[in-house]
Structure 1
Amino acid sequence: MKIALLLFLLAPVLVFAHGGGLDEQGGHFNRKTNRYECHKEPCFSIHKQSKEAYQQATPGTFSRIYNRKDWPHWIDADGDCQNTRQELLIATSKVPVQFKDYRRCTVRQGKWYGVYTGRTFYRASDLDIDHIVPLAHAHRHGADQWTKAQRRKFANDYENLLVVDDSTNQAKSDQAPHEWLPPQKNYWCEYGKRWERVKDKYGLRYSDQERIALNSLAETCLY
């Protein structure tokens, strides 16, 4: 856990492109490397503070370890045998879905547009349900103090869920916008907007690096 957090803190920051020059933080997005680069203050200081925060952390800082089993997800809230995943697949398919059997509990086929990649999918088995704000990220930014009921609500909140292809979801993992963005660049603005909406809804903390990325995105997208 401690090693993973170190990699998280030291990871290069991604921020969204501007039409030339440096942003107000003293950095810019390099399209050739797909990385955010610092050139002046306060960008350097923000990164330094993140490293120092890790170095000064006590063992107690890492005592609440994330466990996905603590987050009840894909529940059948209305008792119709279709859990959160199946309900979302049904709601977002562009055509009437086909089920695996007569019980109509599990979706087998449909037609889904993947906003992260721009690709269309027909088999439910090729799809994951992505938490826009990942469960592990939420845990690190305040949700470690939540009750089980609060975690269940967050894990099944449709406002925080998207149907995406499984490989892209795995590539994203639990990364924040300064670490990962959808391959489909024309979805970046909507992604940033939904990320902030969910974090604000649940009162989750923002890291400095995360806030830099989202502020730069807001300036670019004008939403």
Structure 2
Amino acid sequence: MPIKAVQQFMLGTVLSNEQQAKETLAAMKAAGYDGIELCGFMIHPIGFVVKLLTKAAGMPVGKGGNLDWHKLVQEAGLRVVSLHTDLGSLERDAHAVAEEAKSFGTQYVVITGMYRFDYGDEAAMHQLAQRLNKAGETLTAEGIHLLYHNHNCELRHVNAEKRAYDILLEETDPAFVNFEFDSYWFTEGGANALAWMQRLGPHRAVAHQRPGHPHHRQPSRPS
């Protein structure tokens, strides 16, 4: 059965203190949501530069990094469906990321590229696919599954025939890497989101939609 959940990024700065976080999570539960995807940038203290960069990208993270998120989520009666992190953190210490995911009771870790990679460079995309495979294999050994979250930058062409997302789909191993598909960003980028979802199929993707649309998440195990 699908799990209705909210990505913590979507809540922006309304999780800045304990009382506000409790009220926001309670409101989510009352609205019929079952879970939340936590973000490493928002559940740990972060530096000024990271805050500035996320704000510039339209994703302010608030001041919730010092809160007890294990307690807050449990008291709200929500489940953590996945933990959002970054590829660099996985490559530095996959074990630590896996242990944190397990501490929240989830088997899914999600990363996104966005501005971190040159999505118009074919060689860079081949390299990214290899890095994802390696990180995913390491996480799999820890009992955790890796999902990649797209924006619109993956729609950039790397050559006359292929887009960056084509490379990621074709060269990542489904045993180690699957996808959290964000239909908003592909639609915003002018793509047929449904066609891409059908191409991914039920074993490689979970659906992700923005506020104003149903946001159903059901992580699928790698086949």
TM-score by length of 1: 0.26
Structure with the larger RCO, 1 or 2 (CA within 8 Å, 6+ apart): 1
Higher Rg:
1
